[in-house]
Structure 1
Amino acid sequence: MFVLSEVSCVFYRLRLTKQPWLMQQFSHAQRHLPPSYEPDIYQPFLATYGTHYLSQAVLGGRVRQLTAIPTCRAALDGLTDAEIREKENRENLGSKFFKDLGLNQFPSGSHDNEPSSQGRLSSPVPYMEKRIEVTGGDSHTQELFSTTQNTTTFTAWLESLHASPSLVSFSLEPIHTLVKQGDPRREALKQAVKEYVAEREQRRNCTGSCPEGGYVDSLDPCKCHCSSNPVTDSMCCSLRRGLVRLSVHVQWAKGLYGDVSSGTDGYVKVFFQGQELRTFYIEGNDNPKWFHKLNFGLVTLSVQPKLRVEVWDSDPHYDDLLGACDIELESGKDVTLICNLNHGFLRFSYLLECGPNLGGDSCQEYVPVRG
């Protein structure tokens, strides 16, 4: 979530005439375009001269502050999207921005300056990040946003804008409008601009996939939409810390000893947080191969999660435990392990996948997703 606050000061406005004078080189290239659209000729023309031109410019200065709130981190700390927005409104980041410049933009008794009275929203979000950009003038950013909060520095910066203005805003027009009405090259150039822009829009490479519960926008392949589900909320954020998907792959065992007179009727039990899953049993084999995947699905990890694996021999009256292992789980990788038993050993692996924006050994840490 982003909050943009800015103050702009405009001193000069520049605008092209309706029929601007064109450079000889551009006019010559334009006149030699064919009357009908030919991509091999029009596309190189646009690659040289561009698709749009500056028709109006506003000069002066601007101070802009962008405040970023890691939405998913706030959600993991128990704040909903609505509460974050309420907090933003109550703290009035825009009002604070003007005060940091030494300005009084709001009346002292206005509602925007009233402190929050709600418990967990009463203190600032500790991980807000601010980026400040000063355009035009002679002052430095740190001078404008000093802790003294007086108007002297800001006034000096305003005065410097007369001699050192920068571009604050501008307007663009498509390049085909420089061709006279009635000239067939005007319409051909218009078509060329559309195709030129559309082609480069399609070149956007969006390699990242949407988080679980999200889906790609039908018009913009680089944009994800989310809906609430057991893993994420409507903002594609994990619902809580420690949220993972756990699966265990029981592979094979060797050298089991379950029965004296016959081979082992072996099977495997896996326990996690009170949930028990087991493989099928293989009859009369001291070296069984299960290759059976046990899916625990969506679980919430403790700080030091443990998994218990047991190998059993099936008997008519009661089953015999042949050995067991307790494993401390780690996230983010497919781990293959050997469990040494009373006789022989078991080979198995597990995969622990953290939910979106989660990381660390037990998926308790917030991890920003870079687009």
Structure 2
Amino acid sequence: MLALLFLISYLCVVHTCRTGTLQECHDAPFVPGHNLAGEGFDVVTLQHKGAYVLDFQTYLTPTNTCTICENPLQGNQLQKLPLSVLDWRSFSNCKQELTSAILNTATSVAESATSVIENDWSMGLEIADLGNMNVGGSHSNAVEFAMSQSREDKSAFTSHQLSCAHYSYRVPCRPPQSSEFLKHVQSLPAEFTNETQPLYRRLVETYGTHYIEQVRLGGRLTRLTSIRSCLATVNGHSASKAKDCINTGLSIGLGYVDPSFTTSNCKSLLQNEDSQTQSQLSYLNHVTEVLGGNKWLGEVSLQKNDSVEFRSWLQTLKEIPDILSYTLVPLHELVADPTVRRNVKDIVRQYLRDNAVPKEQPSQQCTGKPNLSPECCPLSPMKGRLRVTIKNAWLPGSGLDPIGPPDPYVKMWLELGQDQRHFHQTHYIENNANPKWDIDYDLGRVEAQYELVFQVWDKDVKYDDHVGTCRTWLTEGLTRGSCNLSKKDRFTYSYTLTCDPQLMGYQCSRYKASQREN
């Protein structure tokens, strides 16, 4: 059944349009989406504003006729065109597969979001000096999501899309303007001062920065997923793997493939649980955007066929399309008065500058560093660098040597079960019941789940005597410790455990998000 919806990947329909009588013009409904290009458009948020710049309600010519067309996507129903609509076409361009991409930064998300603009929207605005800034889409929903996720942790993103296009049209080179927009422009003062700028800003707030010249209409499902790069890495997952597994999961949910198609690795990834550091964080978060059709939210199961609402949504796109792609013209091009036109251009340029965001720089690379991926993420938990200081001891109760005070020294190592590593031994201090070594040892990179062991010994001529043992499990940071070797004898030490990047806590076993300032 679903396959029939996509039987024709691209079919352009031969249109039958003619001049309609006055009665036919009154009776015929408008073509679907007839007025979507009439709204002002904000290139910063990538939103059409809801306030009409162009007149898309007038359809009668001075001779009381109009253009009516058969819409083959709606049973060849006769539908009328506004005078502002030219070259209207209906067709079916639906693809059965999802398109997906990895977007490494919020800048990449902005570039992806603005890819639906099919011309250079900045032409005529003279903002070439903003080339190192994100302007178009800089405050779109997708980019705001990406920026918020990047502030919380080091993140990469995947985009999965499916679209169906059904209609297209364009507007005249000099399109008729809506009466409200004309009134608003005519009310603007010629002077452009600090006092009058708020009036011009209100124009941008109401109508945006551009108007739409050409459109393709239909529906699109977009799922933008953020990946906590390092949390995913420490759990054995990559952005590429996440992209492929989400693609498989969506294909299952939308009814394209059988649930058996998924792999155990993908099942593990899509469970979205941190099994390595027990951080209680999800490494996958997503937002879904649905354009066109009924009020479907676009959420589907990634484990089972969940396509009923999706199929229903597809069927409604021919009746309730939204804008898929478009070309834009700066708003000031509509203004007839040259002085006001220049002022509108200036306020739009100022608005674009105020909302420009610096492009993200390429992330640091960690090629060849132990336990770090090229993206500087830990490959496994419980790893860090250990520095130990053997400090001193009090041995008033040490009666192991009958001749006189003890000759103490210390052995140190890391131990897990029968495995002992990083063995070190101090020199002995002759005839001293209060020895002070203050010796620093850099053990380098260690497995932080090992126990740190100290043994104090008394050197003797024939057999050295064991005074006592200290044991401690490692935790992040500077730790000053002491332990009782016997009822009277005591030993002190300190160590500093520096966990690998984005690891923290007891045995460097917990994940630490890489938060950044705004």
TM-score strictly above 0.5? yes
Q: Equivalent residue for 1:311?
A: 456
User: What SS is found at the alignment partner of 2:312?
Assistant: helix
Q: Equivalent residue for 1:350?
A: 495
Structure 2 matches for 1:235-246, cutoff 5 A? Answer: 235-246=375-386
Judged with a 3 Å threshold, the aligned counterparts in structure 2 of structure 1 residues 177 and 320 are, in CA distance, closer, same or farther, namely farther
1:6 aligns with 2:161: yes
Judged with a 3 Å threshold, the aligned counterparts in structure 2 of structure 1 residues 44 and 184 are, in CA distance, closer, same or farther, namely closer
Aligned residue among 401, 421, 441 for 1:294: 441
Whole-angstrom CA distance in 2 between matches of 1:299 and 1:41? 67
Give the C-alpha shift of residue 75 in structure 1: 4.8
Please, which runs of 5 or more residues in structure 2 have no aligned partner?
1-155, 273-283, 415-419
TM-superposition CA deviations, 1:77-118 (whole Å, max 9, x none): 667x6xx848966x7x646634532358xxx9xxxxxx89xx
Whole-angstrom CA distance in 1 between matches of 2:511 and 2:228? 10
Q: State TM-score, norm by structure 1.
A: 0.61
- Tell whether the 8 Å contact from 2:211 to 2:331 is kept in structure 1 after alignment: no
Q: Equivalent residue for 1:207?
A: none
- Mean CA deviation greater in 136-145 or 175-184: 175-184
Whole-angstrom CA distance in 1 between matches of 2:407 and 2:198? 73
Whole-angstrom CA distance in 2 between matches of 1:66 and 1:88? 10
Structure 2 matches for 1:28-43, cutoff 5 A? Answer: 31-33=190-192
TM-superposition CA deviations, 1:209-264 (whole Å, max 9, x none): xxxxxxxxxx7469443323123121222233432222224444445567889877
TM-superposition CA deviations, 1:255-288 (whole Å, max 9, x none): 5567889877655442124212356777776445
Q: Equivalent residue for 2:221?
A: 63
TM-superposition CA deviations, 1:54-95 (whole Å, max 9, x none): 43366543223346666556655667x6xx848966x7x646
Q: Equivalent residue for 2:507?
A: 362
Aligned residue among 485, 491, 502 for 1:341: 485
- Tell whether the 8 Å contact from 2:296 to 2:309 is kept in structure 1 after alignment: no
Please, which runs of 5 or more residues in structure 1 have no aligned partner?
109-114, 202-218
- Tell whether the 8 Å contact from 1:65 to 1:97 is kept in structure 2 after alignment: no
1:231 aligns with 2:379: no
Whole-angstrom CA distance in 1 between matches of 2:458 and 2:196? 79
Whole-angstrom CA distance in 2 between matches of 1:235 and 1:335? 30
- Tell whether the 8 Å contact from 2:396 to 2:489 is kept in structure 1 after alignment: yes
Aligned residue among 289, 314, 317 for 1:161: 317
Tell me the amino acid that sits aligned with residue 219 of structure 2.
G
Give the C-alpha shift of residue 307 in structure 1: 1.0
Q: Equivalent residue for 1:124?
A: 266
Q: Equivalent residue for 1:101?
A: 254
Judged with a 3 Å threshold, the aligned counterparts in structure 2 of structure 1 residues 325 and 176 are, in CA distance, closer, same or farther, namely farther
- The alignment yields a C-alpha RMSD, in angstroms, of 5.2
Give the C-alpha shift of residue 325 in structure 1: 0.9
* Identity across the alignment (%): 26
Give the C-alpha shift of residue 196 in structure 1: 2.9
User: What SS is found at the alignment partner of 1:232?
Assistant: coil
- Tell whether the 8 Å contact from 2:250 to 2:300 is kept in structure 1 after alignment: no
Structure 2 matches for 1:327-338, cutoff 5 A? Answer: 327-329=472-474, 331-338=475-482
Tell me the amino acid that sits aligned with residue 159 of structure 2.
L
Whole-angstrom CA distance in 1 between matches of 2:426 and 2:326? 68
Tell me the amino acid that sits aligned with residue 344 of structure 1.
D
Give the C-alpha shift of residue 4 in structure 1: 2.7
Q: State TM-score, norm by structure 2.
A: 0.47
- Tell whether the 8 Å contact from 2:473 to 2:507 is kept in structure 1 after alignment: no
Give the C-alpha shift of residue 296 in structure 1: 1.3
- Give the paired residue count: 329
Q: Equivalent residue for 1:276?
A: 423
